[in-house]
Chain A
Amino acid sequence: MSNIGSYEERVKDFSWKTAEEELGYKEGEVINIGWHCTDRICKMGKAQKTALIWEGHGGEEKRYTFDDIRKATNTIGHYLKSIGIKSEDRVCLFMDKVPELYLGFLGVLKIGAIAQPLFSAFGDESLFVRLENAQTKAIITQRKHVGKVRKLLERTPFLEHIIIIDHDGLKPLKEREKAFDLEKAEWIDEFEIFPTKAESPSVLHYTSGTTGLPKGVKHVHYSIISQYLTAKWVLDLQDDDIYWCTADPGWVTGTSYGIIGAWSNGVTQCVLDAGFSADSWYKFIQKNKVTMWYSAPTAIRSLMKAGEELVKQYDLSSLRHLASVGEPLNAEAVIWSQRVFGKPFYDTYWQTETGSMMICNYPGMKVKPGSMGKVFPGVTGAVIDEKTFEPITEPNKPGLIGFRPGWPAMMRAYWNNEEIYKKKFANGWYLPGDKSTVDADGYYWFVGRDDDVINTAGHLVSPFEVESALLEHPAVAESAVVSKPDEVNMEVVKAFVTLKPGFEPDEDLELEIMNFIRKKLSPLAMPQEIEYLEKLPKTRSGKIMRRMLRAQEWGQDIGDTSTLDDE
């Protein structure tokens, strides 16, 4: 029997009080994600239950019970307090998927500080703009990434502490650097948790828009209410599950469901901190007897490419339930999964700003391959007319996805950017920026983005950010960045550039520019193709017509070109 039982019945009777009661929370009382994911689970009698099975490069393995993670998060919290970190200070977690990332996240929350997880593959410029925007006080990182932080010292006077978790003592620490070794530290058993309330800030995740700098999405401790319940009802997490969320906590899935969702439900989860290969993923599932697997369409399509014969070499019979998030899951992937694993991937739709799942396929509810599913009980959603911002009642007519604000994990602000935050709402609806249709049965079908943001492998890349970085390359005079279709990643970044006099458009320069962006921003933002143009298409007022370039890549009609400056 699934946790949700009947979707229709849950919709009828829904109240967020269900989750509040199950988590033992009453309005106005203290609520702290760090405590709820560790101490509370121990108090429920699960102290000796395995909380985390971690595997690193080369097969190194570490295991932690819920009592271990309780003490480890106490220890990290205690250390941060000892160096002067206070409630609401921003603490950046800039690490690979090592245990300290997961434990550090909760340790930060336990002292009432704000966790700012950042993808460790970010280049120094991507790191800088996010640290500067948040005025981050401390960063916890690894030796292998500290070089990127050192490059920013002059520009980050606000960053008081650079905490290195694996300093080996072979080279001296530099300015503002501190060594903290969790395994060698004296673990703290008794620790006073900061009394955060429902609206106390908890997490700051960064996301990209079409224009402007990345935005810091502010979440609060009350978000655990919807993260707990969606993990229970949609991922169907049960007490004896071995759960694997493949997302990196540098992104919202990796925290909402790679940390909070699983541990607030007292479920054992495993983490593989190694690069992707179909072989190693199947081996990991077999070895750990994974029962619930939450992954992403890009990974699923990569597994499809690796072939069905490979699947047969492993015993994957432990798998009980599968789900997906990141970008729309194509019908072929759902059908493939049903054929090779004997069960479909259940697609889920949500984003950094929503903090928890919004439109989902549920255990027990018929899956229509290619559909995002139905709106989560307790959330009011609709397809909205783009001009009137009123709900469209006619089935299968495309419009903007809209949600009525009010679910617990809804973002509370963009950090220091009230103006952009307000623009996300119209006529009382929160607009995530995606278009869809809804059919007569209430199933949502993804149509596309409502802006120029590029969704590559489930991660949003701002064309503006890449264009700006391209202009810093000595050869580039002008740039325009759009998405182009990709079989595995759905979309990838493509750049069009004009060159400054004296530079020749050749393959070596293309590679040099690609690597320039990769190191400055991130591998995700690196254009996978660069096309040299004599001039970029522009309107007569000088605005680059990105729309035309995008249409060219997607084989679409280029539309109205009456404003094109073709002289």
Chain B
Amino acid sequence: MDEMKDVVLKYVINEYLEDEDEVLTYDTPLISGGIVDSFSMVSLKRFLENKYKISIPDDKATPEAFDSVTKIVKLVNEFLK
């Protein structure tokens, strides 16, 4: 679980974080915090699907479910089971 959190956090920092001085944690709001917008969420979803060989239905890929690394990991784990 923690390993997945680190993988997702690292990906978000590398791909989406524009302000190099901003510190991201597992619980930093990503969507409501303006770090990942709704269009970019598509690429984040694609990353998770490629990385963990899962398919996340569109109705589960909501802004709320993607709003932090912790929530994303919880969502991914639902589909890994």
- A binding-site residues for B, Cβ under 8 Å: 57-58, 96, 121, 143-145, 147-148, 168, 170-171, 273-280, 302, 305-306, 456-457, 507-508, 510-511, 514-515, 518, 523-524, 526, 528
Chain A residues within 8 Å of B62, by CB: 306
Chain B residues 4-51 with CB under 8 Å of chain A are: 15, 18-22, 29-40, 42-43, 46-47, 49-50
- Name the residue on A nearest B49 (C-beta): A507
State whether B31 touches A277 (Cβ < 8 A). Answer: yes
A172 and B47 CA atoms in complex are apart in Å by 36
A242 and B37 CA atoms in complex are apart in Å by 26
Chain B residues within 8 Å of A280, by CB: 32
The 5 A-B residue pairs with the shortest CB-CB distance in the complex, in nearest-first order: A144-B19, A523-B39, A275-B31, A277-B63, A523-B40
A528 and B42 CA atoms in complex are apart in Å by 7
A288–chain B nearest beta-carbon distance, Å: 17
Which of A121, A143, A456 contacts B37, CB < 8 Å? A121
Given contacts A514-B46, A526-B43, contact A274 B37 (CB under 8 A): no
State whether A275 touches B36 (Cβ < 8 A). Answer: yes
State whether B39 touches A526 (Cβ < 8 A). Answer: yes
A55–chain B nearest beta-carbon distance, Å: 11
- Name the residue on B nearest A511 (C-beta): B46
Chain A CB within 10 A, most for which of B22, B42, B62, B64: B42
- Name the residue on B nearest A528 (C-beta): B42
Which of A279, A306, A526 contacts B40, CB < 8 Å? A526
Chain B residues within 8 Å of A274, by CB: 32-34
Chain A residues within 8 Å of B15, by CB: 515
Q: Is the interface of B mostly helix, strand, loop or mixed?
A: loop
Chain A residues within 8 Å of B37, by CB: 121, 275, 523
- Name the residue on A nearest B29 (C-beta): A57
State whether A57 touches B34 (Cβ < 8 A). Answer: yes
State whether A526 touches B42 (Cβ < 8 A). Answer: yes
Given A277-B31, A278-B63, A526-B40, 10 other A-B residues pairs in contact with their CB atoms under 8 A: A57-B29, A144-B22, A275-B36, A277-B67, A511-B50, A515-B43, A518-B39, A523-B39, A526-B39, A528-B42
- Name the residue on B nearest A522 (C-beta): B39
A487–chain B nearest beta-carbon distance, Å: 8
A143 and B18 CA atoms in complex are apart in Å by 9
State whether B18 touches A145 (Cβ < 8 A). Answer: yes
State whether A277 touches B64 (Cβ < 8 A). Answer: yes
A303–chain B nearest beta-carbon distance, Å: 11
Chain A CB within 10 A, most for which of B20, B35, B43, B50: B43
A121 and B47 CA atoms in complex are apart in Å by 20
Given contacts A277-B63, A510-B46, contact A147 B29 (CB under 8 A): no
- B binding-site residues for A, Cβ under 8 Å: 15, 18-22, 29-40, 42-43, 46-47, 49-50, 59, 62-64, 67
Chain B residues within 8 Å of A526, by CB: 39-40, 42-43
A148 and B20 CA atoms in complex are apart in Å by 12
Chain B residues within 8 Å of A121, by CB: 37
Given contacts A143-B19, A515-B15, A515-B43, contact A279 B38 (CB under 8 A): no
A364 and B62 CA atoms in complex are apart in Å by 37
Which of B31, B43, B59, B64 contacts A511, CB < 8 Å? B43
Chain A residues within 8 Å of B67, by CB: 277
State whether A279 touches B64 (Cβ < 8 A). Answer: yes
State whether A508 touches B50 (Cβ < 8 A). Answer: yes
Chain A residues within 8 Å of B19, by CB: 143-144, 147
A511 and B20 CA atoms in complex are apart in Å by 23
- Name the residue on A nearest B41 (C-beta): A523
Chain B CB within 10 A, most for which of A275, A277, A514: A275
Which of B18, B32, B42 contacts A277, CB < 8 Å? B32
15 A–B contact pairs at CB < 8 A?
A58-B33, A144-B18, A144-B19, A170-B21, A171-B21, A275-B31, A275-B32, A277-B32, A302-B38, A510-B46, A511-B47, A511-B50, A514-B42, A518-B39, A526-B42
A285–chain B nearest beta-carbon distance, Å: 16
Chain A residues within 8 Å of B30, by CB: 275
B23–chain A nearest beta-carbon distance, Å: 13
State whether B33 touches A524 (Cβ < 8 A). Answer: no
Chain A CB within 10 A, most for which of B30, B39, B43, B62: B39
- Name the residue on B nearest A459 (C-beta): B39
State whether A273 touches B34 (Cβ < 8 A). Answer: yes
State whether B43 touches A275 (Cβ < 8 A). Answer: no
Chain A residues within 8 Å of B64, by CB: 277, 279
